Amino acid sequence: MRQNFSYGSCQATFEQADVRDLDSGQVLPEATGLIGDFTWTYQKLPFHLQAKGEFEYVGRKVVGNGCDERNPNDLTSYYLGVPNKELRLALAAISERKDQCGVNMMIARGYTGQTTENFATGCKPGYVGPLPVVDNPISEVVGVRIPSYASMNFTYRFGR
């Protein structure tokens, strides 16, 4: 959905998916489930300023099969990732001169690249070989934290 105005625009998108294997009907780990996005721009601020903002929400998604391998269609036995929330803001000074400047920032919460990792907690006594035999494996959801940031930029056009 998008609406344009004389002073800017607003846009909202929403996506929902239940991603499954066509043959088995099992949920596919790490496939995106829910994404919501709202974007706005305002171009007629004083001093030739333009403002832009975006809020994005990526919902929980299945990142691993979980503990119950005997019942793969039971969604309660799946590992679920953490939902991500991001707010992006930008303010730019647009002019007819040769210089322009702006401020950008993102306030984020969540993790990117979420998946499951298997960790071994012990080996059987007396085992000798290239790979250890694991007595008690543990699966955990892991990911890289999305950091918040702020930045400034300055642009200068040389020549005409």
What do you get for the CA distance between the two ends of the chain, in Å? 40
Q: What is the phi/psi pair of residue 11, to 5°?
A: -145, 135
pTM: predicted TM-score of the whole model, two decimal places: 0.71
Q: Would you say residue 140 has pLDDT above 80?
A: no
Percent of the chain with pLDDT over 70: 78
Give which of 126, 125, 121, 153 is closest to 138, Cα–Cα. Answer: 121
d(CA 158, CA 160): 7
Which is more confidently placed, 92 or 74? 92
The two three-digit tokens of residue 71, written as one number: 């019942």
d(CA 144, CA 125): 35
Which is more confidently placed, 105 or 99? 105
